[in-house]
Structure 1
Amino acid sequence: MRAMPIFSNLFGARLYSTKSRTYSDAIDALNSLQTNFATLELLRKSQKKSRTLAIPEMIEWTRRAGYKPSDLNKLNIIHVTGTKGKGSTCAFTYSILSQYVPSTFSKIGLYTSPHLKTVRERISINGKPLPEELFTQYFFEVWDRLENSSSDENEYNAMGPGMKPVYFRFLTLLSFHVFMSENVDTAIYEVGIGGEYDSTNIIEKPTAVGISSIGIDHTKILGTTLQDIAWNKGGIMKNGAKAFSVQQPQEAWAALQGRADEKKVELTEVPVHPVVEQTTLGIDADYQQINASLATALAQEHLTVLGHPPVPACTSTELTPEFVVGIETAFWPGRCQKIIDATKTEGEKLEWLLDGAHTDESVTVATMWFGKKARKEAYKILVFNQQTRDATSLVGKLHSILGTEVSFDEVIFCSNITWSSAGYQSELTSMNTSEQEVRDLVVQKQLAEHWQKLDPHSKPTVLPTIEEAVEYVRGLDHEDVQVLVTGSLHLVGGLLVVLDGR
């Protein structure tokens, strides 16, 4: 029996066929493509059977959207994967290349995931998320193309009329359509999960490939060993394009080198660049130095491939002024981000320190970053959630790294639900977790109990929503408060929405 592909049976396919479509209609339609929790569990169990169909199906969806993979070559794509730091690497790479607009490039597209506040963040051009009007226009252009086309039922038996690809695949299709329609001449693509079977991996001729730090994550999809995970990540290497990687654990590096040999790709290990080491980075953390260094290698190769080598050329010891400005001004919200709360009165200080770390490796470096920022005299609070991974392990890692040097006075465990009355912000709706568990705060209560054993001196509190967590912190009677918010990019994104008050 043929393995079932990953798809969504769209309940609203005919709902959005009028000319008066709105941005809200687009978001509702997009959210209907999310895979619900029960279906996701079934898909995870059958992942090994279905994943080999992922690329052929994505190519077919792309055809129905009006493109061939070879059409995307005109976008001049830099393709980046990894477990930790791939988004930051993309941000540094964009910031460097943006220094060459408009002299060298006209439009630079950036495709990343997940989003924090609005889905439009995932598809940006020259540093700006796609405006609502353009997002709506392009969204329904792709929607209608899929709706009005068909696939060979014998070959693609679950891609019939009315069917749409799942959420991430659709957004990848949308990004291709947007960048092609807007005449983007350079694009930076962050892999979603893995690489070999990721929907972005229909890219045929990247200008350069980047691989950030590899660690254990998404084991149900990518495998349980570094070798398995690195094999998947290495799947984005393409013959004819140089690949660059940060220093990896030996097991991961061996797997990457094996894939490079298989694909006849030149793979280069990138060390921390001495200029990067001496520069104050826009994404301000020591651990970002390696991501910035990887970005400099990618940007230099990209410029060289397109016939625009930096002048004077960057070397192993020097960088051009454009490169330096790029890494100094890079910004990646929700990663090593500091916000001073504007609601506090004169003489009071409330500082939010945000990092959406959600793996052992990323929690480790985010915690170290907070440890360097923590003020001895400040009242310190941790706001934490992680709904889909081993949350107790992550919070235990966080506690062990801080040790006795930095301790929290209070710890808040809340869900990722945005508002106490309205529920999720529409663009932050999540269907891939158990609704019952979220409502009953199962994970949060377990975390509070676990934390009490780790640190009986700090006060744990469980709250149903992000809004209530923010209100609780703002209501504390202390003159100097520092809050670390971590464990989930969804948590950080929702908190940014609440801080904005919308």
Structure 2
Amino acid sequence: MAFYSYKDAIRALNTLQTSSNILKRSRKTINNESLSQTIEWLYRIRYKISDIEKLNVIHIAGTKGKGSTCAFVSSILGEIRSRHGKPLKTGLYTSPHLISVRERIRINGIPISEELFAKYFFEIWNCLEETAISKGLDPKIKPSYFVYLTLMSWHVFISEKVDTLIMETGIGGEYDSTNIIQHPTVTGITSLGIDHISVLGDTIERISWNKAGIFKEGVPALTVQQPIEALNVLKKRAFERKSPFFVISVNSDLKKIKLGLSGDFQYINASLAFSLVSHHLFCLNILDENVSPKISDSVKAGLEKASWPGRCQLYKENNISWYLDGAHTLESIKEASIWYANSVFLSNHSSKKSILIFNQQTRDAIMLLDCLYNQMVHKKMSRNPFDIVIFSTNLTWKDGTYSQDLINLNYSIEESKSLKLQYNLKNHWIKLDNNASINIAKSIEDSVDIVRYHASFSDINVFVTGSLHLIGGILTVLNVPVS
């Protein structure tokens, strides 16, 4: 039997990525066929939908806060397991990853090992080829990158005997490949906003309709406070699907807890996570003090210990404080900026030199940059919030390549290397603040070198934001271990 390594798996996985040109054309064709194709692929790896539903799925969609909410749910369930022995194993499926693809598939909060990843990856790969040959199909044709990982995650969780699965949608909900699940224990919608408009639509109503596609008949549908237009759509969808509908406000008792994730907005995600866990345990007939309006010791400990890299994350390297947040929507950029400002400008760290590293390849980068600048100016009470500004590409290394796990064919490498976007951002920032020293970085490694150079003269605060891909690259260059 051939031996396959983790690197072999990642090389094979990257062949399933869609190029930027094809992606632009295919985004408009995501529909019900996407789900029927996922079901067909599932049959091809010899599973049925009922096999997945035995995992007891908590299904979560939303625009922002999905990852943090999943992290809170996973952490709470981990504390309940340590005290009460149930659930036995909790699976967690999220996207995207920051450093390693393994981060997407976790058991009891820990990414699966490289050995397990390779093992299960090639079991799916070989099974797809075998069933293709038996059906007279082309064995070279495989699912897309995200669908493949979704199928693989189900294989992992079933094989490892997981009895609770927290599953985050990829994009949207209605046509997302995770949405073949028909009987989750509970569904949740985090805060909604404008994002992925080429796939989900360009209005909050259309986006809300798509996200609410995860609602199922008879299954509790939970959400947080939303813009009224979004809330009306969610209510209507829940009524149509015959889903009991609940709007979760911030739990006042949670405000007394110091959450493991920074940022005041995390209390919204924590409140939703607590309610999701309560409904889930009720569905599983695990009836103890954890299913109540009160915050048990298990819940408190889970919320305090929760961690989720790349969201309001502080990483210290000698005299450099790296403030990292992968915010990439107007709402999340605003919240991340407030978090950085409160951490730095309103503390005794305000005397340090302040550096911004920013990139956003696909959305309205200028609009995001304006939002960031305005929040900084408001908090610092100065028109010059940063001493140094670095506009970087998402390419990991100086030689113009990506880390193997971070290869992303959704974006044109040629376009990145042209630096056109970075120069546009530079010219715009000059209009906002012509006192800052502005740098164009060809790679994330170059950006880190610029920061370290300045750190040889003084202590530094660095705010990195605009893209989860940028955050992942920074963590990779800094050699931060996979969480």
Amino acid paired to 1:58: T
Deviations 1:32-89 (A, max 9, x none): 0000111112213xx24x4221111110011101111111111011000000101100
> Which consecutive residues of structure 1, in runs of 5 or more, have no partner in the other structure?
1-17
CA offsets 1:422-460 (integer angstroms, 9 cap, x no match): 721000001111221111111111111111111111111
Q: 1:60–1:151: 8 Å Cα contact kept in structure 2?
A: no
Q: Is the Cα–Cα contact under 8 Å of residues 219 and 243 in structure 2 kept in the other structure?
A: yes
Query: Are residue 223 (structure 1) and residue 201 (structure 2) matched?
Result: yes
Which of 11, 33, 39 is the aligned partner of 1:28? 11
Pick one of 464, 472, 476 that aligns with 1:485.
Answer: 464
1:454 to 429, 432, 436: 432
SS of aligned partner of 1:240? coil
Deviations 1:391-446 (A, max 9, x none): 11111110011125431111101111111137210000011112211111111111
Give deviations 1:128-178, integer Å, cap 9, x for gaps. 11111111110011111111114999xxx9x74321111000000000000
The amino acid of 2:190's aligned partner reads: S
Q: Give 5+ residue unaligned stretches, structure 2.
A: none
Distance apart, 1:240 and its partner CA: 2.3
The equivalent position to 1:112 in structure 2, one of 79, 86, 94, is 94
In the TM superposition, what is the alpha-carbon distance from 1:310 to its structure 2 partner? 3.7
- Within a 5 Å distance, the mapping from 1:46-125 to structure 2 comes to 47-48=28-29, 50-102=30-82, 103-125=85-107
Q: CA RMSD in A?
A: 1.7
Alignment match, 2:23 = 40
| Residues 68-120 of structure 1 deviation map (CA, whole Å, 9 limit, x = unaligned) | 11111110110000001011000000000001225112111000000000000
CA distance in 2, matches of 1:152, 1:65: 13
Q: Report the Cα distance in structure 2 between the residues aligned to 1:197 and 1:285, rounded to whole angstroms.
A: 31
Deviation at 1:368, TM superposition (A): 0.7
Q: Which residue in 2 is equivalent to 1:6?
A: none
Whichever residue aligns with residue 136 of structure 1, its letter is: A
Q: Secondary structure at the match of 1:75?
A: coil
Deviations 1:238-287 (A, max 9, x none): 11210110001111111111110111000100000112112111001101
Match of 1:7 in 2: none
The corresponding residue for 2:2 is: 19
Determine whether 1:386 maps to 2:360.
yes
Aligned mates of 2:66, 2:379 — CA distance in 1? 30
- Matched to 1:453, the amino acid is K
SS at match of 1:334: coil
Equivalent-residue separation in structure 2 for 1:312 and 1:131 (angstroms): 31
1:353 corresponds, among 318, 323, 343, to 323
Letter in 2 for 1:334: G
Q: CA offsets, 1:309-358, max 9 Å, x none?
A: 3416431xx311100111111000000100111xx3xxxx2100000000
**SS of 1:189's equivalent?**
strand
Counterpart in the other structure of 2:131: 149
Letter in 1 for 2:351: E
Same amino acid, percent of matched pairs: 46
Say whether the 8 Å CA contact 1:303–1:309 is kept in structure 2. yes
| 1:73-472 superposed matches below 5 A | 73-102=53-82, 103-150=85-132, 160-311=138-289, 313-315=291-293, 318-341=294-317, 344=318, 349-374=319-344, 375-406=349-380, 407-421=385-399, 423-472=401-450
TM-score (norm 2): 0.94
Taking structure 1 as the reference length, what is the TM-score of the superposition? 0.91
In the alignment, the residues of structure 2 paired with residue 190 and residue 130 of structure 1 have an alpha-carbon distance, to the nearest angstrom, of: 17
Q: 2:72, 2:273 within 8 Å by CA — same for their partners in 1?
A: yes
1:354-405 superposed Cα distances (whole Å, 9 cap, x missing partner): 0000011110100111110113212100001111111111111100111254
Give the match's secondary structure for 1:214: coil
1:260 partner amino acid: A
Aligned mates of 1:152, 1:192 — CA distance in 2: 31
Q: Which amino acid aligns with 2:147?
A: R
